[in-house]
Amino acid sequence: MAEHATLTVGNRSFDLGMIDGTTGPAVVDVRKLYAEADIFTFDPGFTSTAACESKITYIDGDAGVLLHRGYPIAQLAEHSTFLEVCYLLLNGELPTADEFADFEKTITYHTMIHAQFDRFFGGFRSDAHPMAIMTGAVGALSAFYHDSINVDDPEQRKISAHRLIAKMPTIAARAFKYSVGQPFVTPRNDMTYAENFLRMSFSVPAEDWKSNPILTRAMDRIFILHADHEQNASTSTVRLAGSSGANPFACIAAGIACLWGPSHGGANEEALMMLNEIGTVDRIPEYIQGVKDRKYRLMGFGHRVYKNYDPRATVMQKTCHEVLAEIGNADDPLLKVAMELEKIALNDPYFVDRKLFPNVDFYSGITLKAMGFPTTMFTALFALARTVGWISQWKEMFEDPQRKIGRPRQLYTGPLARDYVPLEARG
């Protein structure tokens, strides 16, 4: 049972309510603090601030726990499929067989994109980063689907969510095809979500494309591992953009832009570049020394919330071994470097003291490279998978009667009011 908190400022005292969640730390309710006390709270980086109430995803960073609607990520990765996880995140419960069949059909039949949309890709330089293309292309969806943008209509919100989940693989595969100068591949309705995406990415007109069940399962699992992660930077961006009632496709484009940064989704690309740079196991000590000298960070390590092994990294490591074994590359020198680096870092007091463990991005790069994706596509794949998390959180925000436009305040440390000085009078 939540107690109440008292804030004492000089000789004034304010009673603040506290609210319990289902689990996790209780929150101090400061919503009326400014009105009653003329005080703001200060929390750059939101390290102690719950910006919303949510029922979707729970993380216990100290215990290394990640639950979607209560289900542990390891169980979902092992037994579920990405589309089932999409249904779960969006609707709150696992689907019945009929509900799933209906959902799968809906998503499958929304995978095509408007024919005019393809011309949009031609506007980019051929060496454009796929994330630049994704940010632009997903934003451009807002110019194509005018019939699902009334954010106050639950049915239209549902349709835009389905469209986004369905069209992201088509757009990501086109961003890839465009960057390698190959023709676009049309989605097929007789394939699963992951299989369809792999075919759209790797099929060429010159030969038949054969699906590989191990790689398809790995792709699906990678999508599951990236599906949602509560109020991370990109999700908070989507919520903030959406809080003004903005177009849902534009809000997801904002999320993609935020995800691109190297401290967030861009870390998978950086982690693989780091492993390439280290190159061989004997160079690891020198590299670790550079980290300790603060020349650079160990990419794919550390997390704002996890102060324990990232549960997604455990599954990712297993998937990495399965993929490398399947393509006959179990001795990949990069995997050797990664495993040795992990071993050393997990025992080195510098990393142990700071609770720096491998995160999901550490093994995803090697896996995606082995599957045939260039490093520039890694974050685009993250964006594809995270779209369901973004749109589920966006949808939840609109179902929340407490919704308000997001409007943080600030601690102002600039100059006080002063008079304008004309140019000729400035010394």
Q: Catalytic residues, which ones?
A: 303, 361
Phi, psi values for residue 60, rounded to 5°: -110, 100
What separation in angstroms does the CA of 47 have from each of 42, 243, 304, 305, 397?
10, 21, 8, 9, 21
d(CA 132, CA 178) in angstroms, rounded, equals: 12
Number of neighbours of residue 141 by Cβ within 10 angstroms? 26
For ligand CMC, which residue of 187, 242, 255, 302 counts as binding (CB under 6 A)?
302
The token duo for 216 is: 């398809």
AA letter at 325 = A
Is position 287 an interface residue for ligand CMC (rule: CB under 6 A)?
A: no
d(CA 14, CA 29) in angstroms, rounded, equals: 12
CB of 327 to ligand CMC, least distance (A): 25
For ligand CMC, which residue of 354, 372, 400, 408 counts as binding (CB under 6 A)?
354
CB of 300 to ligand CMC, least distance (A): 5
- Residues 176-215, one symbol each (x = binds ligand CMC by CB under 6 A, - = not), give ----------------------------------------
CB of 364 to ligand CMC, least distance (A): 9
Nearer to ligand CMC, 166 or 335 (CB): 335
Pick the piece of the chain touching ligand CMC (CB under 6 A) from 198-206, 250-258, 264-272, 324-332. 264-272
Nearer to ligand CMC, 291 or 385 (CB): 291
> Within 210-249, which residues bind ligand CMC (CB under 6 A)?
229, 232
Is position 269 an interface residue for ligand CMC (rule: CB under 6 A)?
A: no
H-helix segments, 22-153: 33-37, 73-79, 82-91, 97-108, 117-121, 130-140
CB of 25 to ligand CMC, least distance (A): 17
Is residue 195 within 8 Å of 111, Cβ to Cβ? no
Q: How many helices and strands (H and E) does the chain possess?
A: 18, 6
For ligand CMC, which residue of 239, 303, 369, 395 counts as binding (CB under 6 A)?
303
Dihedral sign computed on CA atoms, order 247, 257, 392, 97: positive
Is position 304 an interface residue for ligand CMC (rule: CB under 6 A)?
A: yes
AA letter at 385 = A
What separation in angstroms does the CA of 118 have from each of 137, 201, 281, 319?
10, 15, 45, 33
- Kind and range of the H or E element at 30? none
Is position 298 an interface residue for ligand CMC (rule: CB under 6 A)?
A: yes
Nearer to ligand CMC, 92 or 290 (CB): 290
Pick the piece of the chain touching ligand CMC (CB under 6 A) from 89-97, 136-144, 168-176, 259-267. 259-267
Is position 364 an interface residue for ligand CMC (rule: CB under 6 A)?
A: no
Count interface residues toward ligand CMC (CB under 6 A). 20
Nearer to ligand CMC, 207 or 286 (CB): 286
The token duo for 239 is: 């919520």
Q: Are strands 65-68 and 71-72 parallel, antiparallel or unpaired?
A: antiparallel
Is position 41 an interface residue for ligand CMC (rule: CB under 6 A)?
A: no
- By beta carbon distance, the residue nearest ligand CMC is 302
d(CA 171, CA 165) in angstroms, rounded, equals: 11
Is position 357 an interface residue for ligand CMC (rule: CB under 6 A)?
A: no
CB of 406 to ligand CMC, least distance (A): 20
Q: What is the dihedral of CA 227, 229, 231, 236, to 10 degrees?
A: -30
- Which residues contact ligand CMC by CB under 6 A? 229, 232, 263-265, 267, 291, 297-304, 354, 356, 359-361
